[in-house]
Amino acid sequence: MKDVLPIAASSAEDIVAHLTEAVHDHRVLPGMKLSEDEVGDIFGVSRTVVRQALRAMAHGGLVSIERNRGAFVAKPSVKEAREVFEVRALLEPQTARAAAERATPADVALLEDHIAQEHAALAADKAGLALKLSGAFHVEIARIADQRTIEAFIGQLVSRSSLVIALYWQRRNALCESHAHHALLDAFRHNDPDQAEDLMKGHLLDLVSQLNLRETRDETTSLRDALLG
């Protein structure tokens, strides 16, 4: 009998959560095929549930569904990788400025908790969870800025960024070295829009500097090994 995950999935949302975490954790890499039968066997669910999960991930940009070929973890090209961060560099500094103007003590406390959870994940050697929390920090800034449309767009860009990082990041320990979120938190605490805007620009430039936009890795690990290993 084939193994299933220790925490068996009972819904499409469970599968989305497990696969998304695996992508963030760089265990399931861009370009990997997501066979409906294999995913169903691994999680112990029907193909109908698997299809719902894959469609949801495709809507979020994490999965590409190709006619007559099936579903694959999306694999952004070098051009797309540059574009993702170029768009973030256009949007997020202004969003950080607006957030700094509006941030309340409750907002600052929430962001502080995000950072604490991120550091706890790193201390527990859960880099994928730390990356997910790091992305959520950026989405939360857009919420504080009260920019609903941009918040949704930034959420999609953050998801694409996780794929870009999985493919092109040169230094995996860079997440531990960044103090940008702490500096941004101080700018929000002091309602300093100029500082928040400048810090966000620098933070995104630093992220891009850690990408090797010249080569990608070939992935040979099976989906089962990636999820159960």
Buried b (16+ CB within 10 A) or exposed e, 23-33: bbbbbbbbbbe
Q: Are 81 and 180 in contact (CB under 8 A)?
A: no
User: What Rg, from alpha-carbon coordinates, does the chain have?
Assistant: 18
Same domain, 93 and 113: yes
CATH number at residue 30: 1.10.10.10
The C-alpha atoms of residue 180 and residue 222 are separated, in whole angstroms, by 36
Same domain, 118 and 54: no
CATH number at residue 162: 1.20.120.530
pTM comes to 0.74
Q: Is residue 217 part of a domain?
A: no
DSSP E strands in the chain: the ranges are 63-66, 70-73
pLDDT, tens digit (0-9, with 9 covering 90-100), for 163-210: 887 777 765 545 544 688 999 999 999 999 999 999 999 999 888 888
Least confident of 93-102, 137-146, 215-224: 215-224
Question: In the chain, how many domains are there?
Answer: 2
Within 13 Å, how many C-alpha atoms sit on residue 54's CB side?
Answer: 23
Among residues 61, 198, 65, the alpha carbon closest in space to that of 135 is found at: 61
